[in-house]
Amino acid sequence: MILTGKNESLEKYQKIARIPEMLIALAFLSLGVIMLVQIGFTNIGGWFHLKLLLVVIAIPMGIIGFKKNNRIMIIISALLFIYLVLLSFLKTPLLFN
């Protein structure tokens, strides 16, 4: 919606979806911590640190982009998340082959 300039529709959606989004984010974070504890910190794969760094960059970039209505930051953040999902499924970095 932000890419098409429908800011009013986006604001309405954000008001409705705020609580469900927070619950989903908390669930993802909790499950990630649980999985990390189960696997153990010594058995972490080699690309874990790259993934974690990209997540730490993409989340604030997306939040700031939405607050300031900065389309470029939102697009970069979304592309980072798409890359992270692909990286998780393929288990090898696409850019470093």
- pLDDT, residue 46, reads 66
pTM above 0.85, yes or no: no
Q: Give the HSE-up count for residue 94: Cα atoms under 13 Å, Cβ half-sphere.
A: 10
Identify residue 72 by its one-letter amino acid code. I
Q: Which residues of the chain have pLDDT under 70?
A: 1-5, 41, 45-46, 91-97
Rounded CA gap, 61 and 82, in Å? 14
Where in the chain are the domains?
Answer: 1-42, 45-97
